[in-house]
Structure 1
Amino acid sequence: MIIPGLPINEDFRIEALHSLDILDTEPENEFDEITTLAAYLCDTEIALISLVDSDREWFKSAHNFSTKEIHRDHSFCAHSILQPETPLIITDARKDSRFKDNPYTLDGTIIFYAGVPLIDKNGFALGTLCVIDSKPKELTNKQLEALKSLAHQVVILFELNKKNKDLEKIENKLRKRNESLKDFARVISHDLKMPLANVITTSDLLKLKLANDLDQETSEYFEYIKQSSFTMSDYINDVLDHYESDSLAQHKPELFKLNHLLKEIAELLSIKPDCTINFPESNPTLECNKSALKQIFFNLIGNSIKYNDKDHILIDIKHCEDKMFYYFKVVDNGMGIPNDKINTIFDLFTTANGTDRSGNKGNGIGLSTVKKLVESLGGRIKVQSTLGVQTIFDFSIKKKIES
């Protein structure tokens, strides 16, 4: 028996092999199907996808071969990768000086061997796709070409696996960074709420204490401080809502009446006489994530009120459903959305209008939170608008499917 030598680029070859992160991984159907097909096409007992490591040959897929790895000194494939341009074909290993004393030849496991090197995009031979039989054999040209084609598919699968793993690593890094950003935003937002409340209270107390000594301009400054503080407070609340929407979406479904939920929201928004909200006449019973739906309607109805330039605000809320989804529609007679803003209206920190009904500028967080919640509940949301006339938000929520 002749122990296989090392390729001249062995260090780089081993580095390329390890970079795949495929050694010692679990079996995968995609690879097992290739070895099964290779054995069938070549009419052999065994087919292997082998990877030649520093001191072993490890099998990613083994058709009719129970061993997961063998020592490199006993490896036929370690000989094959020495000449990666040419398949290694041994019709009778008992007559070949390299293999006649090999343990797998002596026990009759490998008499016939045909291995096609697996060449990566950089030219490194990582291992082979090989077929094996316990009796002498030859391959036809068609069988050999088929084996080469299958070997090429193995390399493609290796590269796809590597890309998928790289993407998973990137996703994990992004997920961790996103969680860090969420924690940062949550902490900062909570820490800012108390100082802002103090600013509002202090400005009110000062204004009251100095009431007899304030001129018109100074009073306006106090009012500006207070209004700016309220604007910042709204911004902080929206940031918290956005980053806490993930946990909100995890709430369990519950039974409730839609109109009861909408009345709760109307009370929270302190609806004034100049606003009419028309609820669905049927007052349907829903079974879904009530907390998430409440946040969605709170934002949409709140926007319909804020971004409305009419003397009387009119909001219609409609509902229908089928076996799979609840469908909702929120229609208002507000300012409308410019055509060039429609496609970006749900992007974070994007606003459609310069200022709202009170002359304040929006922060572009609310609708992004709405879209995030709707999609987390298995639905979709879209918007239609006629500038100066109306805006229509259509969204769906997937029903709880009984098992």
Structure 2
Amino acid sequence: MIAPKIPSNESARLAAVYEYKLIDTLPESDFDNITSIIAAIFNIPISLITLLDVDRNFLKSHYGFPFNEAPRDLSFCGHAIMCEDDIFIIEDSRKDERFHDNPIVKEHNAIFYAGVSLINPDGLPLGTLCVFDTKPRKLTALQKQVLIAMAKQVVNLFELRKRNIQLRETKEELHIQNENLKNFAGHVSHDMKMPLANMIVTTDILRKKYNTVLDAKGIEYLDYLKQSSFTLSDYISGLLNHYESDKLDNVRESFDLHLLLEEIVDLLNINIDCEINFPEINEELYCNRAALEQIFLNLIGNSLKYNDKEKVIIDIACKKRKSQLEFKISDNGIGIPKDKQKEIFNLFSTVGNLDRNGNKGHGIGLSTVQKLINNLGGKIKLESELGKGTTFYFTIAI
């Protein structure tokens, strides 16, 4: 018996084998299907998919063979990966000095062998797709073509597996980074709330105490400082709502839609001429009340802020389907330009319009709304025409 030689690029070859994370894994139907098909087509008792480790031949799929590994020194596959031909064939191992006294030949009657190297995209041999028979035989040209083609398909499966592993690892890494970012944003936002509140209170104290000393310009500066503090406070509150929206437990409860909307209108403390029309049918809903409240607060709040009409009109509709709730919120506001409608739900994306009080939006509210709706198994879209108003359509699963 002659043991197989070790390739000159063995370190790189082994590194390539380990990239696929297949060594010592359990059988998988994708690979077992290939070996069983090969065995049937060739009418042969043994078909294997192998990977050559440091000192063993690991059998990822072993049709007709009771073991999942064998010593590399005894392996036919160790010789096959050194072969420069497309296919390595031993028609009768008993007549070949490399194998005639090999225990695999003597104990398992491995007389015939044909193997095709599994070559990765970098040209490194990982193992083989091979067949054994207990008697001498020859392969037809068609059988050789089939074995070579199926070996390429095995490598394609290896590559697909590797890409899936990389995607899972990337997804997990992004998840960790996103959690770290959310925690950072949460801590920073919370830490900034108190100093901002102090700034707002301090400007009121300064104005009251030094009102007779400050000239008109000084009073204007204090007003500007206070307004800027409020703007930054709203921005931070929006960030907190966005990053904490995932923490809203998906606890479902029964509640009255009209009552929810009435509570939201009270919370908004509307001080302009406004008509809000509730759905004609007062539905009894069963869903995540806290999340739906947050959605309505943002959408109705936007309809109030981004409106240049003397009288604001907001129409709300709701339809209960078998598996979802469908909502519609329309207003007669300033509208959203066509070229901004696709990106309006992106975090920090703004239309550029000033609100009713001359302030610019932060691009956080609608991103939070979409996030909440997606978490509730729904979708949101909009229709808008400049100068005439905007309609949001969204669904949530029930």
**Structure 2 length as normaliser, TM-score?**
0.96
Could you list the per-position Cα deviations for residues 255-293 of structure 1 after superposition, in whole angstroms to 9, with x for gaps in the alignment?
A: 222222212211211123512211112111222222211
Structure-2 residue corresponding to 1:142: 142
What amino acid is aligned across from residue 288 of structure 1 in structure 2? C
Structure 2 CA distance for aligned equivalents of residues 15 and 159 of structure 1: 14
Structure-2 residue corresponding to 1:162: 162
Structure-2 residue corresponding to 1:272: 271
What amino acid is aligned across from residue 236 of structure 2 in structure 1? I
Written as runs of structure 1 = structure 2, the 5 A alignment for 1:125-274 is 125-248=125-248, 250-274=249-273
Structure-2 residue corresponding to 1:5: 5
Identity of aligned residues (%): 52
1:287 paired to 2:286: yes
1:328 paired to 2:327: yes
Q: Following superposition, which runs of at least 4 residues in structure 1 exceed 4 angstroms of deviation?
A: none
SS for the counterpart of 1:59 is strand
Structure-2 residue corresponding to 1:365: 364
SS for the counterpart of 2:374 is helix
Structure 2 CA distance for aligned equivalents of residues 247 and 38 of structure 1: 52
How many residue pairs align between the two structures?
A: 398
Distance 1:148 1:60, change over 3 A: same
Structure 2 CA distance for aligned equivalents of residues 262 and 110 of structure 1: 79
Conserved 8 A contact 1:99-1:105: yes
Structure 2 CA distance for aligned equivalents of residues 290 and 200 of structure 1: 33
Deviation at 1:68, TM superposition (A): 1.8
Could you list the per-position Cα deviations for residues 333-369 of structure 1 after superposition, in whole angstroms to 9, with x for gaps in the alignment?
A: 1010111211111111111133111001110011111
1:311 paired to 2:310: yes
Structure-2 residue corresponding to 1:124: 124
Deviation at 1:109, TM superposition (A): 4.7
Structure 2 CA distance for aligned equivalents of residues 219 and 304 of structure 1: 32
Distance 1:278 1:161, change over 3 A: same
Could you list the per-position Cα deviations for residues 139-169 of structure 1 after superposition, in whole angstroms to 9, with x for gaps in the alignment?
A: 2222221111110001111112122222222
Conserved 8 A contact 1:50-1:129: yes
Structure 2 CA distance for aligned equivalents of residues 137 and 278 of structure 1: 85
What amino acid is aligned across from residue 124 of structure 1 in structure 2? L
Written as runs of structure 1 = structure 2, the 5 A alignment for 1:49-88 is 49-88=49-88
Structure 1 CA distance for aligned equivalents of residues 107 and 185 of structure 2: 67
Conserved 8 A contact 1:84-1:117: no
SS for the counterpart of 1:309 is coil
Distance 1:297 1:144, change over 3 A: same
Conserved 8 A contact 1:84-1:119: no
Written as runs of structure 1 = structure 2, the 5 A alignment for 1:383-402 is 383-399=382-398
Q: Which runs of 5+ in 2 are unaligned?
A: none
Deviates more, 1:55-64 or 1:22-31: 22-31
Conserved 8 A contact 1:41-1:146: no
Conserved 8 A contact 2:203-2:225: yes
